[in-house]
Structure 1
Amino acid sequence: MSQELVRAVTAAVRHAGTRLLNRYSTAARQPGLPELLADLHANDLTVVDVLEPALAEALPEARWLNDEHGSGPLPDGAWWLIDPVGGNLNAVHGMTDWNIGVSLVRDGRPVLAVLYFPLLDEMFTATAGGGSFLNGVPIRVSDKQALDGALTGTGQAQPGTTATLADRTGAAYAAMAKAALYVRISVPVSHQLAQVAAGRMDLHWQFDNVRAHAAGVLLVLEAGGTVTDLDGQPWDITSDSYLAAAPGLHAAALDILTT
Structure 2
Amino acid sequence: MSIYDLTGRRALVTGGAQGLGESYARALAGAGAKVAIADLQERGAEVASDLGEGHHFAELDVTDDASWQAAIESTVNAFGGLDIVINNAGLEITSLITDIDPADAKKMLDVNVLGTVLGLKHGLRAMRPGGAAEGGGTIINVASVAATIAFPGISVYSATKSAIDRLTRVAAMESGKLGYGVRVNCIFPGLVPNAMGAGLANDVSELGLFDSPEAAVAAVVDLTPSGRLGEEKDITDALMFLASDESRFVNGAALQVDGGMGM
TM above 0.5, yes or no, is no
TM-score by length of 2: 0.29
Q: Which has the higher helix share?
A: 2
- TM-score w.r.t. the length of structure 1 is 0.30
Kindly indicate which of the two structures has a greater share of residues assigned to strand. 1
